[in-house]
Amino acid sequence: MHVDSSSSCPTRLYGTRTAPKSNTIEEHQCALQRVMFVPRQLQKKALRQQPKEPAPLVPPEKSTKDDHIDPTLAKEMVMTLEILFSDYGIESGPPEWFSARMRSVEGESDFIHLSALLDCPLLAEMKPKPSQMTFRKALTQYPSDFLQLSKDKYYIRRRHEHLPSPKSPVGHQKGSDDSTIYIEPHVTGITLNPGRVARMLSQSAMPRKYLPVQFVEAGDTAWAFVILSTAVSHEDAGNQELWPRDWIVMTKHEWRRRDEEYQQLRRRRPTLSTRTRLPERHDRASGSSAQQMWPDRPSAPTVPADPASAREDYQRNEAADYEFGLIVYLTNLHPLTTKETITSFITRQADRYNRKKSSSKAKGNLVPKDEDGPPVNINYVDYQKGLTTAYLRLRKVQDSELVVSALKKRKRRMQDGNDKKGKKVTADSGKNDWVQATNVGGNEERIYWEKVLAAKWGGGGKTKRKRPSQPVTLDVRPSGEREQTNGGKPPKKIKFSD
């Protein structure tokens, strides 16, 4: 190989491990340096890469470094547990529910693990949803005088000094009407969280003798019966300064008196055209907290059942009365959607439609710029999961027309089961898969109301009622007709037997 004399080192031939022949000492030393073996001890140390930890299959819960949580949430959790372990809570449920979960801890009995409480339906409506760690932190941060934690803080029981005496009569909750009040909070949904109701009552100016709250029997999202520790006087119930602000509070006896008076007024005017609401609001507490805790037990009526009572006699003989044009048929829904999602979806489309319509009118100075159209009022969503169709029961005919017009104008498609906004379907896509609505009328409307009435009189729903002995008459009348305005002619009757 020819080597240029101007270079200090010759070029190495790739793939060879031997030094090239050289005529000079410098070239020979340079070649040796290229092929010489460097011991491992003299090599530059590489940075060690730490092995990556495997990702957990279940994402860890959000937790703080300390054992503190929101004080308001802690109070609500503890008060919910106190209601669960109260005399009314224990006697309302089957005894095996508690006995099957009780364990002996460190030689002491009647303890229940915190994780075993998570399957209680009473806690299902709490938001955020409780967990074992949140229960533990809440009981540590906000200790209860009624409940006792074990030494490891994973088991709970009712303190022995608060256990009912063996001499105390069993079933005392049946005579608890004197200590029961009827409430309507200022915000709907509060009654579904017993701990929140108990916390708001404890923070009010009500006399301390009525505390603690024994039980919260929620009828629906707007009202509930609350059982207190002692009998409530009419003077205290009527003093609004003692209760949370903007709450409607009265004793259960006062509520029953007003309810009977209301039913008597309805019986005196049997020909008055009224629209029946399904289900009857205060008919029975089918959605009560007691029924949520123990779904296997039959739900007891709030008012003692009396076959000769005026309400049951009236409901057995009254004619079901519905208006025309209140039913809307929806298509192209997502099969995994829910009633709540459908309600939010329809409400949003109607709201956006009203805003767009108001803004276009405001340009022509027809209406004020900040004035929107009336909101849509949905009474019920008749839907079964897995289907792509549903029926909407609206409050007024204007609501039905608004839903049909809004969906036709906006053309929004549901992308998944939780989609409350929808995606715009363009005209060039060539698809008609947006959620569409049509008014139900004629014979189809009559058949639908017949099915609703059949379910009302003893169907498979929650609000079963006794079937009437006589054929039921469905009074179908035009919308907005409150009284007879057709010259004294009787309204159109459609009879069918059950």
Give the pLDDT band (50/70/90) at residue 369.
Answer: very low
Structure token digits, residue 139: 């009981």
Helix (H) or strand (E) holding 493: strand 493-496
Structure token digits, residue 385: 């999961």
- Least confident stretch, 72-81, 102-111, 192-201, 313-322: 313-322
Which tens digit of pLDDT belongs to each residue from 254-288?
Answer: 999 999 998 888 888 654 444 444 444 444 444 45
- Least confident stretch, 10-24, 63-77, 174-188, 318-332: 10-24
Strand duo 215-218 + 180-184: pairing: unpaired
Residue 109 pLDDT > 90:
no
List beta partners, residue 381. Answer: 392
Helix (H) or strand (E) holding 116: none
Residue ranges per domain, the chain?
Answer: 1-35, 71-162, 174-260, 269-300+317-322+446-496, 325-440
What dotted CATH number matches 71-162? 1.10.10.10
Q: What is the pLDDT of residue 376?
A: 86
- The answer to whether 458 and 467 have CB atoms below 8 angstroms apart is yes
Same topology, domains 71-162 and 174-260? Answer is no
Structure token digits, residue 355: 């805003």
Q: What is the pLDDT of residue 3?
A: 47
Q: What is the pLDDT of residue 130?
A: 85
CATH class of this structure's domain 325-440: alpha beta
Residue 2 pLDDT > 70:
no
For the CA atoms of 16, 18, 21, 24, what is the dihedral angle to 10 degrees? Answer: 120
| Dihedral (CA of 257, 260, 266, 267) sign | negative
- The answer to whether 232 and 210 have CB atoms below 8 angstroms apart is yes
Which tens digit of pLDDT belongs to each residue from 56-73?
Answer: 554 454 444 456 788 999
pLDDT above 70 as % of the chain? 61
Task: Please indicate whether residue 468 or residue 209 has the higher confidence score (pLDDT).
Answer: 209
Which tens digit of pLDDT belongs to each residue from 162-196?
Answer: 666 544 444 555 557 899 999 999 988 888 889 99
Residue 78 pLDDT > 70:
yes
Give the pLDDT band (50/70/90) at residue 23.
Answer: low
Residue count of the chain, please give it.
498
Residue 46 pLDDT > 70:
no
11-30 mean pLDDT: 55
Query: What's the whole-number average pLDDT of the chain?
Result: 74
Strand duo 320-323 + 472-477: pairing: parallel
CATH 3.90.930 given to domain 174-260 = no
Which tens digit of pLDDT belongs to each residue from 381-403?
Answer: 999 888 889 999 998 888 999 99
CA distances from 197 to 24, 79, 193, 269, 309 (A): 100, 9, 7, 38, 32
